[in-house]
Structure 1
Amino acid sequence: MKLHNVLNLILLLCSSIGFAQNATISGIIFGENNTPLANVNISSKGLGTTTNADGFYILEITSDEENTITFSHIAYLDVVLEKLILNTNETFEFNPVLKSDVTQIDGVTVSATGEKEANNILNISPEKIRKIPGANSGVETILKLLPGVSSNNELSTQYAVRGGNYDENLVYINEIEVYRPFLIRSAQQEGLSFINSDLVQNVKFSAGGFQAKYGDKLASVLDIKYKTPTLFSLRADVSFLGASTSLETISKNQKLSSVSGVRYRNNSLLVNSQQTESNFNPAFTDVQSYLTYRFSPKFQLNFLSNLTVNDYKNEPLNRQTNFGTIDNPQALVVYYQGQEINKYTTALGALKGSYFLNENTTLKLISSIYHTTEEEYSDVVAAYELGDVDSNLSSDTAGEVITSRGIGSQFNRTRNDLDALIFNIEHKGFHTMNNSVLEWGAKYTHEDIRDQLRESEFIDSAGYSIRPPRSEFINNEPSEPFDAPLVAYNGLSALNFVKTNRFSGYVQLGTQKTWSNADVYYNIGVRSHHWTVSGTGVEKVSQTVFSPRAQFAIKPDWNKDMLFRLSTGLYHQPPFYRELRDHIGSILPNVKAQKAFHLVAGNEYSFLLWDRPFTLISEAYYKRLENVNPYTLEDVRIRYAANNDAEAYVYGAEVRLNGAFVPGTESWVSLGYLKTEENRNNRGYISRPTDQRVKFAILFQDYIPTIPDLKMYLNLIYQTGVPGGSPSYADPYIFQNRLRDYKRADLGISYIFANKDKQFPKTHWLRNFKELSLGFEIFNLFNNQNSITNTWVRDADSKNEYAVPNYLTARVLNLKLGIRL
């Protein structure tokens, strides 16, 4: 294969023959009364095991080929799981219920990435998440390799989905909604994702057209399930970027289990590869736990806790950015004084009780409280010089500024404080009826936001201070003196106390049946959301929206394994605090919910190629948006206009081929196209800030056949540039320039000293390790210069403003050690 050969040449790896490997299926088997069953026999291809006293089992099966697993017990009829195809080292959880009245054939077909879903949900392997290299490795790194997901900043864990922005994505952990800090403006300040990849058991992701049971956002759903441990395990990872450790425990009576993680991260290695030299001292720390206690077979309680402290300190020193053309090279040279001190402290506590009324009905009560205190304090003075660069390579001053075209200074001062408290209480339930599932839920949310904004930017150019381009400041400086008050070029000062009460609920019905020998699935549901905004000096405003949604899928009785999907519905996004705040910090409570109509059509085709499993997934989508709240995007900071004066559309198509390109591994290739534009006040359509257009990505895994423990992981991304923004006060209809195309490759190579497939003598030093690996990662393998935003610099002579790119990280080497006991 060309792809295989090219990538192996890069790594000087030569593949020859494959070898057989195993996968694992595990779970808990229940009886009709929903109690775990002991001594159930599980068999597949001559291999077998039995459940323990708590109904738990684990069985290794052959990977990359079809398996049939039979669950049998003398007092119950058999359950047969057919056509199970798993990747090497993939773990699949299956929890059957044995009955005494009918023989069951579970028609689950499993592809290389997990259980095939008919409800427009993609399953992602947690093991793959932990192995794939990335500057911010984890769940988000995998998502960014999907065709409809875009992010042009490797330091950020934020992502945009099919034309949406970072605020339009839902994230759940074990059905508990999680939030991200409000004030973070730069990806350098983000630190850690909320999701701890070491604790993850299952990942589901939908890029649109999702069910009514998921909340009120416009773009996507990331549904994470943390582990429920069955054995004791201790894991630790150490690298140049930080360290993490996770612990899995279970009590002797197996009623209490816990999974916990501690992470520390330092981005100095990455930030020091940028063009701004600085004294950089970040400290990002995260402690997280998920506990489960089974009071009885009918009732269990879960507790999720998280504490994150992002302490960001930066003292910039100087910067030189070369730009322009070969014939006219230019540079921006900046000398800094001052520092940034930002701190974001967030805490989450959530309690979930699950009551299994009977084998058909489950009731849940979930409550959570999220608290964040955020501080942004900075005083930075920048003296800059804009000039021509010496392009003579033989000159002693090659690459330096030799002619100044503009000299100026800039002073930025920030004193922002935010305190937010969010409380949720929710009831959820589901009831199964033959081949149908009825689900419902009701939720109350209270948001209490206390926010003080104080920001100012002063610009001095050619000896005079530049005032805002408003009518009261029109002048002829420096030719004629101007004695108007000295004010900041950009500035805001606001003190807001805002409370929001929300009531939301949903009901949906999913049914699976057979029609003309074809398997048919459909789900219909509706959500409703009512909210009231109030606060000090804020008018009390209430609004209500309804969101009907539907999904349909059919799997024809063909020789080819194909599944067709269609999803549609209305999706509303009632305004959160930031969407109510305009560019000067004022709260506008009358902002309406943004509204989107989704239409998503897809096809999933599973087949064998080279006697190995592959899946081709294709989707086309269209979104029509109304009541759009326009925004600007700078780095990861979003600022809304806090009005609904725009309409927009998104359409696109994407295709992804995943499978065992190399025996015993899983890789994929994806290609996507999207276009999104908005029309503000009927002025015509222009590109939205997330108008990505073309994206191509590869996730590739390999090994040396003669040294199978030497693994290679590579991800490649190419995506066309998004709009680069505009200078302050500029009309976005005039500035429609784009950033350069984003190109990035991250490579990881590791050697596996020990894992669950290796057996060692009792006296061997590796005997006590369940896993031990050592490797290195190269971020930005080809050292591409990618940019995230533009800095707009004024030429004092010509009055022109130049878009100077702010480049992202260069090539960086990272060493990594992984241990599991």
Structure 2
Amino acid sequence: MKLIRIFFLCLLTTNALIAQTISGFIEDASSGERLIGAAIKFNNQGVISNRYGYFSIKVNVEPVRLMVSYLGFETKEIEYTITKDTSVLIKLHPVQNNLNEVVITSSPKQELSSIDHYTIPLELVKKAPAFLGESDLFKTIQYLPGVQAGNEGTAGINVRGGTPDQNLILLDGVPVYNINHMFGFFSVINPDAVSHVDFMKGSFPAKYGGRLSSIMDIAMKEGNLQSWHGTLSLNPIATRLMVEGPLKKDVSSILVSGRSTWINGLIGLGTLISNSENSTNYGFYDLNVKLNYKLSPKDQLYGSFYTGHDGFRNQFKFDNSVYRFGLSWGNATAALRWNRVWHKHLFSNTTAYYTQYNYNLSQELTSEKRYNATTNSSIKDKGVKIDFDQILSNQNTLKYGAGLVHHTFAPENKSYQNSRMDSTAMNTPVESLEWSTYLEDEYSITNKLKLVAGVHYMGQHVQKSYFHSFQPRISLHANLTSRSKAQFSYNRTAQFLHLLTNSSLGLPTDLWVPAIPNVGPEKAEQWALGYAFQLNDSYSLTSEVYYKNMEGVVEYTDLSAFLSATNIPWYDRVTVGKSRSKGLEVYLNKSRGKTKGWISYTLSKTDRKFASLNEGNWFPFKYDRRNNLAMVITHDFSSSKTLSFNFVYNTGVALTLPTSFYEGALPSNYVHDLNNPLLINYKFYQSLGDMSQRNNFRAPAYHRMDVSYKLTKLKVNGTRSWIFNVYNLYNRQNPYFIYYDQQKLKQFSLLPILPSVTYQREF
């Protein structure tokens, strides 16, 4: 027995000597910014720094050599001699020719990385051709496989047969409910304020919940801890300014980034020159603020704030009357985040946040009889969540956490006034309490096989009802050879809120509403199988097939929409159905050389079915674009001269058009009043269309090419750049909408060829 005790004592002592832990953070040496997804390799093993730049790895030999790498930074090899668990801070230096590193790739090169997980370098977003010179993150994402754009020129995305509300957009961990500036032509995300973007559309990590189609996790810059820097950008649409620097070097920092349009000034100048009594006003702005404070080597505190607003107002006079129309909308988010290293193997992130979106629409007619009408809607969240990363070994990481959020929905508040009466329809806000918890285990079974298995559970109390959803997530990653890998994934997801969209308006008047007893949650199941092959050091090819079922999807019923049926509540104007989507995605990427870029192709089919629509039969989803081809190419003539172009080709959207025409009966009040001016609509009643078949027509194919040329010059205290953009290079007349005119089909095209110039100064 004594010999057995001595044996186990020696074994424990030996393990203590040979199994030590190195943990810590990876930072940008020039700014102190934490590097998300940096690769740390040791003895043919490797780990990745987490969402907050933290890593932990066990070592068992002396001396220890770590290889640390990150895209756009110099790879660093570090040797340690350690006899106990050690905490380190590793700083990487940016590559001097970083202007050339603008490829889009999957998460930083590592063994068994996810095929459908993309990390988007912000340099690419800033360098790619931009609509009127305004760089946009969402426009870049539209070129990825499985992602489809909405209407012409807009920033919205539809992922694998989903709708915009099925995309979870997180800004520093806080949901953003509306991404549109300028009626959707730009997004509210200012790329100057962003440091890292993860985009996922297949194998969702268990920590994410509440949406069906995609996750976009956007991290704001933390603020430079070493020195003050800034960026100024001027283009025909807006001015952007970003300033960041230390409040106390190596301890605290601040970042402030703002953007504002000057369109309103140009419109006002045109009105003044024309001496018109009619006027139009439009403007938008956004503001990002980030504070970063190191409380201790183990604790870090962050505070972030965002606000953005759009406003449009039109006034015109006729006879003795004045008509005014106004529309405004905006977002606001605020978050307080605390990072804590509890133990060398345990890391946590706690976030308390607030977010809101609201819009207001008003109409006013001033004459002998006064008329005024307003409509507003909003959604507000107050939430808290905590996430843990527990590193059990180099092969096994456990992730778990929980969250609680209080929603307040005010989907439709309307008031109406005239000289005879006042009417107000103030709906009582609907409140809901939603909670979630998750557990995920990432386990490397062998050097060639990794399993990620988890579960996300969420529940919601609303209107004395309780909804809940148990969501298993599983993905299997296999390295087939040194150059190829395969991935299988299965996901179940749910969301307890809906977005009621009136696509005919083209305005931000969509309604966020909760799942309630008679309009329940949306649910989805998705299967995907992917394969990736590294052709050589420059080229890689990825392909994936998927199948997705969705239940509980919502659409307006026929003849119901926003601004109609004002006395009918929203839940009596919608119908609930299901959707199915399947597709093949191919992604070819070139990441080295002077010419870089990628080609993506998606072959897909999405159908929907509602009992009260299309006679209960399946019909194509509006954005069921069978073929979607996208191309992005960047060529560096030198470190200061870059030519870029984008090309996109999509099958046309599905539209509902009459299959035949018939003559209808005039309303009785028209027939008996021959002087009624509304008899001008008589022709309308002579040719009514049969609209019984939904989405029965295809618009012409959409295709477009954009070009950008960037000239950069080094200055004493920074760089100066001129960026020349041409949107729609060959002036393709793409259909914005299609209509009948005297029973002849015609199209309206919105955006012709649009050149622009951007001036940018980094200091």
TM-score, normalised by the number of residues in structure 2: 0.73
- Measured at CA, do residues 665 and 418 of structure 1 come closer, stay the same or move farther in structure 2, by a change above 3 Å? same
Equivalent position to 2:144, from 143, 146, 150 = 146
> Does residue 604 of structure 2 align to residue 674 of structure 1?
yes
Amino acid at match of 1:169: N
Equivalent position to 1:623, from 548, 551, 557 = 548
**Which residue number corresponds to residue 255 of structure 1?**
251
> Does residue 710 of structure 2 align to residue 750 of structure 1?
yes
Equivalent position to 2:176, from 175, 178, 191 = 178
**Which residue number corresponds to residue 294 of structure 1?**
294
Equivalent residue of 1:629, what SS? strand
Q: How does 1:726-745 map to 2 (within 5 A)?
A: 731=691, 733-745=693-705
Task: Give, in angstroms, the shift of residue 379 of structure 1.
Answer: 6.3
**Which residue number corresponds to residue 495 of structure 2?**
573
Find the aligned partners of 1:574 and 1:56 in 2 and give their Cα distance. Answer: 34
Equivalent residue of 1:115, what SS? coil
Amino acid at match of 1:785: Q
> Does residue 375 of structure 2 align to residue 416 of structure 1?
yes
Amino acid at match of 1:683: G
**Which residue number corresponds to residue 549 of structure 1?**
473
> Does residue 760 of structure 2 align to residue 811 of structure 1?
no
Equivalent residue of 1:630, what SS? strand
Sequence identity (%): 20
**Which residue number corresponds to residue 434 of structure 2?**
502
> Does residue 71 of structure 2 align to residue 81 of structure 1?
no
**Which residue number corresponds to residue 162 of structure 2?**
164
Find the aligned partners of 1:208 and 1:288 in 2 and give their Cα distance. Answer: 30
- Measured at CA, do residues 173 and 525 of structure 1 come closer, stay the same or move farther in structure 2, by a change above 3 Å? same
**Which residue number corresponds to residue 584 of structure 2?**
653
**Which residue number corresponds to residue 334 of structure 2?**
349
Task: Give, in angstroms, the shift of residue 163 of structure 1.
Answer: 0.8
Equivalent residue of 1:167, what SS? helix
Equivalent residue of 2:655, what SS? coil
Equivalent residue of 2:448, what SS? strand
- Measured at CA, do residues 151 and 686 of structure 1 come closer, stay the same or move farther in structure 2, by a change above 3 Å? same
Task: Give, in angstroms, the shift of residue 200 of structure 1.
Answer: 1.9
String of CA shifts for 1:358-401, please: whole Å, max 9, x gaps.
121012221111233421124699xxxxxxxxxxxxxxxxxxxx
Equivalent residue of 2:211, what SS? coil
Find the aligned partners of 2:306 and 2:546 in 1 and give their Cα distance. Answer: 36
**Which residue number corresponds to residue 526 of structure 1?**
455
Find the aligned partners of 1:97 and 1:542 in 2 and give their Cα distance. Answer: 56
| 1:121–1:204 contact (8 Å) kept in structure 2 | yes
**Which residue number corresponds to residue 391 of structure 2?**
432
Task: Give, in angstroms, the shift of residue 264 of structure 1.
Answer: 1.2
Amino acid at match of 2:490: T
String of CA shifts for 1:615-661, please: whole Å, max 9, x gaps.
11111111022233235899x99998876642221000011111147
Equivalent position to 1:773, from 717, 721, 725 = 721
Find the aligned partners of 2:562 and 2:78 in 1 and give their Cα distance. Answer: 46
**Which residue number corresponds to residue 406 of structure 1?**
none
**Which residue number corresponds to residue 123 of structure 1?**
119
Equivalent position to 1:788, from 702, 718, 736 = 736
Further displaced range: 588-597 or 639-648: 639-648
> Does residue 194 of structure 2 align to residue 219 of structure 1?
no
Equivalent residue of 2:654, what SS? coil
Amino acid at match of 1:554: A
Task: Give, in angstroms, the shift of residue 571 of structure 1.
Answer: 1.3
Amino acid at match of 2:630: A
- Measured at CA, do residues 305 and 253 of structure 1 come closer, stay the same or move farther in structure 2, by a change above 3 Å? same
- Measured at CA, do residues 451 and 138 of structure 1 come closer, stay the same or move farther in structure 2, by a change above 3 Å? same
Task: Give, in angstroms, the shift of residue 820 of structure 1.
Answer: 0.7
String of CA shifts for 1:445-503, please: whole Å, max 9, x gaps.
111123435599xxxxxxxxxxxxxxxxxxxxxxxxxxxxxxxxxxx977352112111
Task: Give, in angstroms, the shift of residue 95 of structure 1.
Answer: 12
Find the aligned partners of 1:724 and 1:294 in 2 and give their Cα distance. Answer: 55
- Runs of at least 5 residues in structure 2 that lack an aligned partner in the other structure: 1-19, 36-45, 47-56, 91-100, 269-275, 417-423, 503-508, 564-569, 659-687
Amino acid at match of 1:621: Y
**Which residue number corresponds to residue 242 of structure 2?**
246
| 1:551–1:568 contact (8 Å) kept in structure 2 | yes
| 1:420–1:450 contact (8 Å) kept in structure 2 | yes
Equivalent residue of 1:137, what SS? coil
Equivalent position to 2:406, from 432, 436, 446 = 446
**Which residue number corresponds to residue 303 of structure 1?**
303
Amino acid at match of 1:619: E
Amino acid at match of 1:811: I
Find the aligned partners of 2:34 and 2:298 in 1 and give their Cα distance. Answer: 17
Find the aligned partners of 2:357 and 2:512 in 1 and give their Cα distance. Answer: 23
Equivalent residue of 1:127, what SS? helix
Amino acid at match of 2:580: Y
Task: Give, in angstroms, the shift of residue 284 of structure 1.
Answer: 0.7
Amino acid at match of 2:701: D
User: How many residue pairs are counted as aligned between the two chains?
Assistant: 634
Find the aligned partners of 1:542 and 1:720 in 2 and give their Cα distance. Answer: 42
- Measured at CA, do residues 256 and 51 of structure 1 come closer, stay the same or move farther in structure 2, by a change above 3 Å? closer
**Which residue number corresponds to residue 633 of structure 2?**
700
**Which residue number corresponds to residue 236 of structure 1?**
232
| 1:511–1:521 contact (8 Å) kept in structure 2 | yes
Find the aligned partners of 1:355 and 1:528 in 2 and give their Cα distance. Answer: 25
Task: Give, in angstroms, the shift of residue 427 of structure 1.
Answer: 1.5
TM-score, normalised by the number of residues in structure 1: 0.69
Equivalent residue of 1:615, what SS? strand
| 1:169–1:219 contact (8 Å) kept in structure 2 | yes
- Measured at CA, do residues 36 and 655 of structure 1 come closer, stay the same or move farther in structure 2, by a change above 3 Å? closer
Amino acid at match of 2:453: I
- Runs of at least 5 residues in structure 1 that lack an aligned partner in the other structure: 1-30, 39-49, 58-67, 319-335, 382-411, 457-491, 535-539, 755-765
| 1:245–1:261 contact (8 Å) kept in structure 2 | yes
Equivalent residue of 1:599, what SS? strand
**Which residue number corresponds to residue 604 of structure 1?**
532
**Which residue number corresponds to residue 361 of structure 1?**
346
Task: Give, in angstroms, the shift of residue 174 of structure 1.
Answer: 3.0
Amino acid at match of 2:123: E
**Which residue number corresponds to residue 196 of structure 1?**
190
| 1:211–1:551 contact (8 Å) kept in structure 2 | no
Task: Give, in angstroms, the shift of residue 724 of structure 1.
Answer: 2.3
String of CA shifts for 1:242-301, please: whole Å, max 9, x gaps.
1101112124441112222101135689999xxxx9965321111101221110011111
Task: Give, in angstroms, the shift of residue 522 of structure 1.
Answer: 1.4
| 1:588–1:642 contact (8 Å) kept in structure 2 | no
| 1:701–1:714 contact (8 Å) kept in structure 2 | yes
Task: Give, in angstroms, the shift of residue 668 of structure 1.
Answer: 0.7
Equivalent residue of 1:254, what SS? coil
Amino acid at match of 1:261: S
Find the aligned partners of 1:750 and 1:53 in 2 and give their Cα distance. Answer: 25
Amino acid at match of 2:67: L
Q: How does 1:320-399 map to 2 (within 5 A)?
A: 338-378=323-363
Find the aligned partners of 1:712 and 1:695 in 2 and give their Cα distance. Answer: 24
String of CA shifts for 1:48-92, please: whole Å, max 9, x gaps.
xx98999999xxxxxxxxxx9xx9x9x98433438x695xxx348
Amino acid at match of 1:711: T
